Structure 1
Amino acid sequence: MKPEPTIEAQLQERELGKLVLKSSGFFEKYGLTLLAVVAAVIVATIGYMVYESMQRTRLAAAWSEMEGVKLPADMEALAERLAGTPAGDWALLRAAELRFDEGMLQANRNREAANSEFKQSKAGFEKVLAEGAYVEDLRQRAIFGLARVLEATSTGDTKPAITKYEELVAQFPTSIFKPIAEERIKALNSPQVQDFYSWYSQQNPKPEAPTRPRDGMGNAFGLPGLDLPGMTPPAGASGGSTSPVKSTEGEIPPPVGEKPAAEKPAADMPADPTTELPPAPAAAKPESPAAPATPTTTPPAAEKSELPPTP
């Protein structure tokens, strides 16, 4: 015989039964809608995970690509392609720094080109400060770069550059750029440095004109006897060539079997005496063996032979 359930168990069964009865009606009415919502949440979660994975892969590829870019224009194109991402902000900063470096290289060679690079660098740093201010490392490098541009383009008034250096020190007291900024503040307050920038801004170095090639190119490498074809100077008044290389072409020999015509001495000059040379000895020829005697039908008496008389 089963024991009777306790009062607590009876109450739980009754409450659970009531809840099941209530929920059964709800599921019958909204069950499909609830399943659709759950399915949508699952799909959205999976989609977000896939998107995040693709973004991480894309950003990793962007960081790798950024390491291999060396030209400012290429870095600016990369920054534009990655706009709105952390990698894009860093690419924009790096492009501004590359522009500044190029301007410093051109400052003593081509002032016009240097000023153009400095102008683009300044615009890049200002854009970084406007769009990437949420990253401290990005911001302090942009402020430091902007201060350097203002110093490099100073015409004697160093206050704008000093202000930026002081802003860097105030906002980032632990920055790695703080010692350099403090040193530059001290230097830019010096009258000698201000006078230098006033004088330096008035200089206008320009690139040298390219060397034009020499005309002619005769004897191009300065070696004797080396004249390039088609570039030998024309013959002088005497009709001879000025080239030191003498022609090795001989006179055309006469045809075989014909004797060359004897040259006639000039009328006003006596003929050169000719010295007769002894004839050259004939070349010795090997003696050929004697041919064997051929028997004849002539009787011995008819032959002409001198024989001694018979004793």
Structure 2
Amino acid sequence: MKPEPMQHANALPHSQSPLVKWLDQYGNGATIVACVAMIGGAIWFSYTKTSSSRSEAAWAQYSQARSAEDFGNIADVYSNTEVGTWARLGEGERLVDSGISLMFTNREAALGELKKADEAFRKVLDNKSGSDVARERASWGLAKSTEAQSDSDTTKAIEGYTALLNQFPKSIYKAAAEERIESLKSPDAKEFYAWFHKQHPKPPDDSKKPKDGLPDGHPSLDSLLDDKPEGDKTESKKPEPKDDDKPDESKPDAKKDEKPAEEPKTDKPKTDDSKPESKDKDAPADSK
């Protein structure tokens, strides 16, 4: 009697490969790890794609910014990013340029602009992970702002330029910074900033300007027109000439028929009518 096939299978020794043994022992855990890795990869891919799109949008806004307010808004939205650092620098540079210009016309507004510029530059410098080029420009802008606010003591401005040279020895502003340091040490510079600091220029008060070219206290022309009675506000029209008053073109012009005035008669010198009688007698007689 032949044994059944299953009997032969059961009679074979039970053997498994190492991979099968590993899957039997760690299969569930490996499946979980694989799933987690796939989910993490999907999340990372989505984040990278979203971050790239967000960065492109940020740089597009940066390229269109013009004013200090524009750059400041971008820096607030994209803080702690590369574009945010450059936007903050753009805000500070525009504020310091505006502040220095206003120092000659509106001192109060100028100081306000320079204070805001200082804050923007310090934020760029405090970001150690930011671009070195951006931080170098921020250091230069901060030194300029400090000099513009100097009085007779120019020490702080000198320290600002010195800090730039120490932190960025190969700075593109090296020659300019060294020149400003030497100039600020001179007595002439200290004397100038002592005088300039005492000046307080203000913009002209438009409310004190005469209106409509009239002297102060004089009512405007519009108010005078409004005070007129309604009948006087209508434009007066010239009366049209009546038919009787119109010149008759068919009649000759009276002036044309007028004769020139006669010259005044002057007494002509009288001629001597007395002629010698001898001549009258000698005249021939008329023939009848």
TM bucket, shorter chain? 0.5 to 0.7
CA offsets 1:86-121 (integer angstroms, 9 cap, x no match): 111111111111111111121111100000011111
1:131 aligns with 2:121: no
Count of aligned pairs: 218
Superposition deviation, residue 134 in structure 1:
4.4
Partners in 1 of 2:146 and 2:136 — Cα distance?
15
Unaligned 5+ residue runs, structure 2? 1-14, 213-218, 244-288
| RMSD of aligned residue pairs (Cα, Å) | 2.9
Structure 2: distance between partners of 1:60 and 1:154: 41
Question: Quick check: 1:54 aligned with 2:44?
Answer: no
Q: State whether residues 85 and 130 of structure 2, in contact with CA within 8 Å, keep that contact through their aligned partners in structure 1.
A: no
**Match for 1:29 among 25, 32, 54?**
25
- Is the aligned partner of 1:213 residue 2:218? no
Aligned to 1:89: 85
1:42 to 1:246, Cα distance in 2 relative to 1, 3 A: closer
Q: What is the match of residue 215 of structure 2?
A: none
Offset of residue 247 of structure 1: 4.3
Of the three residues 96, 100, 103, the one matched with 2:99 is 103
TM-score under structure 1 normalisation? 0.63
C-alpha distance in 1 between matches for 2:123 and 2:92 = 10
TM-score by length of 2: 0.68
Contact 1:103 1:118 in 2 (8 A): yes
The question of 1:248 aligning with 2:228 is answered no
Letter in 2 for 1:100: V
Q: Is the 8 A contact 1:132 1:138 kept in 2?
A: no
SS of equivalent to 1:142: helix
Aligned amino acid, residue 89 of structure 1: T
User: In the TM superposition, what are the counterparts of 1:267-282 in structure 2 within 5 Å?
Assistant: none
| CA gap 1:204/1:133 in 2 versus in 1, 3 angstroms | farther
Identity of aligned residues (%): 30
Q: SS at the partner of 1:201?
A: helix
Report the residue type matching 2:194 in the other structure: S
Alignment partners' CA distance in 1, 2:129 and 2:35: 40
Structure 2 distance, partners of 1:52, 1:91, is 22
The match for 2:191 among 185, 191, 195 is: 195
CA distance in structure 2 between the aligned counterparts of 1:41 and 1:212, rounded to whole angstroms? 79
Assess if the C-alpha contact under 8 Å between 2:121 and 2:141 holds in 1.
yes
Matched letter for residue 53 of structure 2: T
* 1:93–1:124 contact (8 Å) kept in structure 2: yes
| Inter-CA distance 206–229: structure 2 relative to 1 (3 Å threshold) | closer
Q: Report the Cα offset of residue 137 of structure 1.
A: 1.1
CA offsets 1:152-182 (integer angstroms, 9 cap, x no match): 0001211111112112122222211111111
1:194-248, Cα deviation, whole Å (9 max, x unpaired)? 1101100100000001134234438xxxxxxxxx9946989xxxxxx9xxx9842
Residues 1:50 and 1:246: Cα distance change in structure 2 (over 3 Å): closer
Contact 2:144 / 2:157 at 8 angstroms: preserved in 1? yes
User: Residues 129 and 93 from structure 1, CA distance in 2 versus in 1: closer, same or farther, beyond 3 angstroms?
Assistant: same
**Higher helix fraction (1 or 2):** 2
- Residue 121 of structure 1 is matched in structure 2 by 117
What is the alpha-carbon distance in structure 1 between the residues aligned to residue 225 and residue 241 of structure 2?
A: 25
Contact 1:216/1:231 (<8 A) preserved = no
Q: Provide the C-alpha distance between the structure 2 equivalents of 1:252 and 1:124, rounded to a whole number of angstroms.
A: 81
Distance 1:132 1:56, change over 3 A: farther
State the alpha-carbon separation in 1 of the partners of residues 199 and 224 from structure 2. 48
CA contact (8 A) 1:100 1:149 kept: yes
The 3-state SS of whatever aligns with 2:221 is coil
Aligned to 2:174: 178
Letter in 2 for 1:54: T
What corresponds to 2:164 in structure 1?
A: 168
Deviation, 1:144, is 0.8
Task: Give the residue type in structure 2 aligned to 1:158.
Answer: T
Contact 2:211–2:220, Cα closer than 8 Å, also in 1: no
